[in-house]
Amino acid sequence: MATEIAIEQERNLVGGRWVPSRSGKSFENRNPADKDDLVGVFPDSGREDVEAAVAAAKQAYPGWRSTPAPRRAEVLYAAGEILKRDKEKLARLMTREMGKVLAETRGDVQEAIDMAFLAAGEGRRLFGFTTPSELRDKFAMCVRQPVGVCAFVTPWNFPMAIPAWKGMAALIAGNTVVIKPASDTPASVVALARVLEEAGLPPGVWNVVMGSGGAVGDPLVTHPDVKVVSFTGSTEVGRRISTACAPTFKRLHLEMGGKNAILVMDDADVDLAVDGAVWGAFGTTGQRCTASSRLLVHRKVYDDFLGKLVNRTKALKVGNGLAPGIDMGPCVSEKQRDSVARYVAIGKKEGARLVCGGEVLSGGDFAKGWFHAPTIFADATMTMRVACEEIFGPVTTVVPVSSLEEGIRLANAVPYGLSGSIYTRDVTKAFTAMREFETGIFYVNSSTIGAEVHLPFGGVKDTGNGHREAGIAGLDVFTEWKSIYVDFSGRLQKAQIDTYE
């Protein structure tokens, strides 16, 4: 007889109160490694819930905006300390609801900790600038100001880190927030909201509304009182949000898909490159926008690299991410696993050579979860869908190349431009690739994953729309520049017209 699972009934956070959805409807959130494990029951919300949350955020905005930035920083510092205190508990919750192994969910919480402290540090900076005026007895400066109510639509693969990337930057700048978490991972965002509550964030500054993209996301991003929309997810949905926001000229940040390449040159440390490829392709079960889903390998080291890659991949232990010794967890849902399986079938039909994995894992320890074997296609070409479309699962393709120039050309031959990498001992090749890769992030002798919060994160082409998250650049999404002129000459002075000999 199965052990009874305690069911936790969660609610939306609106104006500092935890409330059920107006409809009274709810949905279940289950562990993707063990569908018998019910993580919680969450409100299935709609337009009325969104309107209440946006109204609460709008009402809280003047007070939070007028709170001195160093005081706002104290709340974020406190949140960072609470996240540190509860890191293990939060990581275990995240593994239960998202599936990735415990070491990775600890890293997810650590990103939230790092971002809290980074943003809090800006509470005594939020630097603008001063500059000389072209006129006498006139002072010129520029300052950052908050924008207003921010709407976040966040994904399931980094269910605490990404809300923290967006949220900490928005909060330190003086904005208020309404967040719609992914329906596959609402518990992590609820946990983050409770951390912010404990840290002393005033009611209404951070609001959470759970539900589907159509019922919650659509009315949220189009709400007239929302001034900033920040979305992380697929390019298809991002394009639709961009169209929806265009008529009202909302400030919009989009972080979308990727099809990232590691370029392995003939002078590379092959063992090191294999380490990076395995981590990049199968970390988070390949469910990262920065995943190393294309491996462009020089023909001179191709066979050596491929053989070692296959051996390393076959040795990966797949299972419940809470269990010790597990290297890779399940896909986040049955739907996601089925999507991966369809791409594997496409790869076979296209003629790519399946050298590892390729199967859905079922029965035994896999019977209650959504598991797929780590999969490698070799001898692929860039005309194949598996080599140019985002799969978002544990599948990577190995493509032979004959030169640095060909490798760079193939790396750039996709609509996306998030992350890229080269393995080489030649500084000229490294710097050439660094310059020529059409990506927002680039690594030398490292995988395509592993961004740090104090550097800007984001991509080009169909990956993003020009904004960045994290780092100081993350403030740009959530602040407006105001130029200020103070004339103390006692007379009317006309810029570009008055001159002084």
Mind telling me the catalytic residues?
Answer: 255, 289
Say which residues have a Cβ less than 8 Å from residue 358's Cβ, sequence separation at least 6. 344, 348, 373, 375
d(CA 100, CA 346): 26
Tokens of 230: 């920040």
In order of 82, 180, 270, 461, the CA distances from 384 in angstroms are: 47, 35, 25, 20
Which H or E run contains 264?
strand 261-264
Residue 286 in tokens: 């390949």
Cα separation, 231 vs 239, whole angstroms? 11
Element (H, E) at 208: strand 206-208
In a 13 Å sphere around the CA of 325, the CA atoms on its Cβ side amount to 2
Measured N-to-C along each axis, helices 299-314 and 270-282 cross at an angle, to the nearest 10 degrees, of 50
Nearest-5° angle of CA 213, CA 369, CA 217? 5
Q: Angle at which helices 186-199 and 87-98 pack, to 10 degrees?
A: 160
In angstroms, the CA 384 to CA 350 distance is: 6
DSSP string, 416-433: EESEEEEE-S-HHHHHHH
Containing 138, the helix (H) or strand (E) segment is: strand 138-146
152 burial level (CB within 10 Å; 0-12, 13-18, 19+): buried
Whole-angstrom distance, CA of residue 236 vs CA of residue 175: 28
Structure tokens at 243: 């169209």
Residue 470 backbone class (left: φ over 0; alpha: ψ -120 to 50; beta: rest): left
